[in-house]
Amino acid sequence: MYQFNVHRIGPEIKLGDIDISFTNASLFMVISSVAILIIFNLGSKKNSLVPSKIQLLAELSYSFVSKMISDTAGSKAKPYFAFIFSLFMFVLFCNMFGMIPYSFTVTSHIIVTFVLAAFIFIGVTVIGFIKHGFGYLKLFVPSGVPMILLPLIVVIEIISYLSRPISLSVRLFANMMAGHTMMKVFGGFVVSLGIIGGWLPLSFSVALTGLEILVAFLQAYVFAILTCIYLNDALNLHH
């Protein structure tokens, strides 16, 4: 499908054997980052008591993320607010820009979401080891387990810990790709059924567009909230 194709824009740039040319994926990442920067610069430039629309937007998203962090990870996670906020905004804007026709959805590629998830995974693990030292390994040894079962339980816990970045990245990628594919399929039905039978799939794809916008927001939210949950595990070790 053409909408998922990554192609080069401009000249080919090579760093050794690695192709680092500017692609349409990088273009849309740049567009969403710049959009975020513009909105939040304009929103925080003038601190009027009665906020303008753009200031309201910036303040609402700030308090939304701040509340999400304090709800799930407690007050200890406050220093990581900047990271989670930019993560949430980046994923949200990438998802939302993908909803514009003829645009490119960055998050519908597993490598993009996996890199984000791998960063979170490594970061959270490093934070856990810094905060608790080798005591962080207690995460893999639940209390109250008989000695005979311990080796098996530890293996299971390690696998479930390692599955975090996979589940985090696959969820975002699969939801975005499945939604866009579904819309493409229904769009194809409209064309093939013609003017008589095409109205039903057309109404379906209108409804799906609404659903996709919901999913785009929800997946960004889930991505951020799971980062908070993992951060909570690393900060407040309880086993």
Q: Which residues bind another protein (CB under 8 A)?
A: 67-68, 71-72, 152, 155-157, 159-160, 162-164, 166-167, 170-171, 174, 218-219, 221-222, 225-226, 229
Q: What is the DSSP letter of 137?
A: G
Closest separation between CB of residue 166 and another protein, Å?
A: 4
Which lies closer to another protein via its Cβ, residue 208 or residue 226? Answer: 226
Closest separation between CB of residue 118 and another protein, Å?
A: 13
Closest separation between CB of residue 238 and another protein, Å?
A: 12
Which lies closer to another protein via its Cβ, residue 114 or residue 186? Answer: 114
CB atoms within 10 A of CB 96: 17
Helix 81-98 vs helix 24-45: angle between axes, to the nearest 10 degrees?
120
Contact at 8 Å (CB) between 184 and 70?
A: no
Which lies closer to another protein via its Cβ, residue 130 or residue 155? Answer: 155
Closest separation between CB of residue 7 and another protein, Å?
A: 30
Which lies closer to another protein via its Cβ, residue 45 or residue 67? Answer: 67
Strands 18-19 and 14-15, bridge-based pairing: antiparallel
Give the Cα separation of 129 and 151 in Å (integer).
22
Structure tokens at 91: 């994923």
Q: Is 160 helix (H, G, I), strand (E, B) or coil?
A: helix
Closest separation between CB of residue 169 and another protein, Å?
A: 9
Contact at 8 Å (CB) between 85 and 65?
A: yes
Closest separation between CB of residue 196 and another protein, Å?
A: 39
CB atoms within 10 A of CB 124: 21
Which lies closer to another protein via its Cβ, residue 216 or residue 225? Answer: 225
Which lies closer to another protein via its Cβ, residue 52 or residue 163? Answer: 163
Angle ∠(207,209,210) on CA atoms, nearest 5: 65
